[in-house]
Structure 1
Amino acid sequence: MTKPLLELKGIKKLYPVRKGLIIQKQIGTVRAVDGVSFRLMPGETLSVVGESGCGKSTTARLAMRLIEPSEGTIHYDGQDITHAPRAELRRLRREMQIIFQDPYASLNPRMTVEEIIAEPMVVHNVGDNASRRDRVRELLRLVDLAPYHASRYPHEFSGGQRQRIGIARALSVSPRLIVCDEPVSALDVSIQAQIINLLKDLQQEFGLTYLFISHGLAVVKHVSDRVAVMYLGQVVETADKATLYANPRHPYTQALLAAAPEPDPTRRSAGRTLGGDIPSPLNPPSGCRFHTRCPLAQPRCSAEIPALREIGAGHLAACHFAETVPDFTRFRDGYGIRPRLQARLDLYARKRDAVASAIQ
């Protein structure tokens, strides 16, 4: 059986909160990531989605050992790298690269494009100057840029072009795993599609494995093989793409899908939006962390922490009532609430149809 390329087991990242100028006293702990576990198989794309502040990017940085975990283990290609020394991590960096969210801040404005893309090769002693120069021009062609762009500086490029440079830099040392930390969230929609298609083409050509971080469900649906949904530092549901979008079993996943914008105005429904704010990771709710905003919460939800358990083939959900959660379409349509809003939408639809008929 094929072994996972990347595996996280019970990973936690805790940040102590201290008070005082001279004698600092710890008054609490921010649970940024709290017991995340998942597997990423070779050649697969696993997307991690959730609202801002749920711990997605922190999880990605923990997976690459860019920040140190407080608890849990990280395995890469069967090797435990949780406490690997710096020299060992340096060797692994050739196989694990990252594409950052901000294409403006992630490129050194004082370096040319050639220097930026060649820098990982210099760090890892790959080739000589001539071969690096040839490799840079080859990579620029791969990401749909021209070879003459190598002599230019980052400020001479648009946001989409800068992200292509970031992708070329990540590919320069021929990695196996690339962490994509919201690589298209800062770009226009049309440019997002170009970058996503480029990433998919590169994955097919080089057999890459992606850990894709995003809050855009449309992007995730296009690029993923499997999806893990996070809420307040924990994974609440994991499934393959088709299952998750067709049959979500956690109310939070249903809420995310219901909140996604519908491009067809004739199909727009009075989807229920979640009430309240995301609880603070400094003082998370007892039991299920989502129960303070869940429309289906029961007394058990505030008293008992739900386990992330299997409810179908490869489908895991952290909900006490995952098997009996109402169908997704009921959440999308608001579980029957907001009747006045629905009535106004129906009236608008009738008026629109009448106008269309008169024009014809």
Structure 2
Amino acid sequence: MSATAPLVEVRDLRKHFPVRRGLFGTGSGQVHAVDGISFAVAPGETLGLVGESGCGKSTAGRALLRLVQPSEGEIRFRGHDITRLNEPAMLPYRRSMQMIQQDPYASLNPRMTAGEIVEEPLVIHRMGSRVERQERVVQLFERVGLRPEQRHAYPHEFSGGQRQRIGIARALALSPALIVCDEPVSALDVSIQAQIINLLTDLQEELGLSYLFVAHDLAVIEHISHRVAVMYLGRIVELTDRTSLFETPLHPYTEALLSAVPIARVSARGRKRVVLSGDVPSPVNRPSGCHFHTRCPYAHARCRLEEPALRAVRDGHLVACHLHDAGPALPLARPH
């Protein structure tokens, strides 16, 4: 991607959830779902956010959209700080920031027709007359590959792939600049996944959309992303362009992820299989220092004591690992 002003910037974002137990719901700790992450997304760019289930990637996407309130950090959209805006002040920004949900079966209101679901954002934001809104719905149905007459049907009358197309049409209704895609194809068959990914790619090229694409499937991430951020236990451990990540991963966790899946690359042939020991630690009781040191085959004493900063090791290639501490600390991962 060319160097340009970011559409959205996230700086040291944290989201903690209190853990309450007992009859009176007293506090007994916090889940550190997102633990100080920084990244930026440029106009027209797809940033893939990948990691194991429970690493905090979906929470990061929801915090970016202010669907959950961040505990700390800063979110800037087109240069404006939106981190602590109240709901009336956030309303104009919500038109430009939309979301595609993971589950096409649970994300659609079964009591509304497909057309009403797609029209709802236009009604909430009081955009256009009823006739104009209906015309917009027809256009959106055609754009995502659905027949206009299908807008009168209810969600249960559609397949999973068709339901996700309805969700995409709903996200496009307000002509957003940024869409957070929260595992949008993980609940679909493989053949349908390819259709949805191709649709999202076509829409990006046509409309200049930016995506934060949250997924755990590396094959999907490799296909759609320009840059990739790898998360582990609430932190970003590596961030670089797609080619660098898949051909020359620098973080031991990224190496382990890539070795666990078949990658159709000549450079990946013969890659050593990395088997991690132990389980992912609890986000309530995180390890000291580097969160990954309890499972890392290269861990040493410093890893247990000192948290590694996300540093630029090469141009545009950032990694949080004491094995690569030669570069300067870089608090914000800007697009290249």
TM range (shorter): over 0.9
**Distance (Å, rounded) in 2 between the aligned partners of 1:213 and 1:154:** 24
Aligned to 1:50: 51
User: Would you tell me which structure has more helix in proportion to its own residues?
Assistant: 1
Q: Which residue of 1 aligns with 2:27?
A: 26
Partner of 1:239: helix, strand, or coil? strand
Following superposition of structure 1 onto structure 2, how do residues 1-360 of structure 1 map, counting pairs within 5 Å?
Answer: 2-22=4-24, 24-261=25-262, 271-322=273-324
Equivalent AA in structure 2 for residue 239 of structure 1:
T
Given that 2:219 and 2:263 are in contact with CA atoms closer than 8 Å, whether structure 1 keeps it comes out as no
Cα RMSD of the aligned pairs, angstroms, is: 1.6
Contact 1:54–1:231 under 8 Å retained in 2: yes
In the alignment of these two chains, the number of paired residues is 321
Distance 1:31 1:206 in 2: 36
Q: Indicate the residue corresponding to 1:347 in structure 2.
A: none
Cα deviations by residue, 1:288-308 (Å, 9 ceiling, x for unpaired): 110111111111111111111
Please, which runs of 5 or more residues in structure 2 have no aligned partner? 327-336
How far 1:84 moved relative to its partner? Answer: 0.6
- Which amino acid is 2:209 matched to? L
Q: Distance in 1 between matches of 2:145 and 2:241?
A: 31
* TM-fit CA distance, 1:262: 5.2
Deviation, 1:269, is: 7.1
Identical columns (%): 59
Deviations 1:123-154, CA, capped at 9 Å, x for gaps: 11111111111111111111111111111111
User: For the structure 1 residues 156 and 270, does the alpha-carbon distance in structure 2 shift closer, same or farther, using more than 3 Å as the test?
Assistant: same
What's the secondary structure of 1:321's corresponding residue? helix
- Between the aligned partners of 2:221 and 2:260, the Cα distance in structure 1 is 15
- Which residue type is aligned with residue 299 of structure 1? A
Contact 1:99 1:166 in 2 (8 A): yes
SS at match of 2:294: coil
Q: TM-score, normalised by structure 2?
A: 0.92
Question: Contact 1:249 / 1:323 at 8 angstroms: preserved in 2?
Answer: no
Rg larger in structure: 1
Q: Any conservation in 2 of the 1:101–1:186 contact (CA below 8 Å)?
A: yes
Higher relative contact order (CA 8 A, sep 6+): 2
C-alpha separation between the residues in 2 aligned to 1:172 and 1:27? 43
Aligned twin of 2:330: none
TM-superposed CA distance for 1:88, in Å, is: 1.4
What's the TM-score once normalised by structure 1's chain length? 0.86
Q: What residue identity is the alignment partner of 1:321?
A: L
Match in the other structure for 1:335: none
Cα distance in structure 2, aligned partners of 1:284 and 1:97 = 32
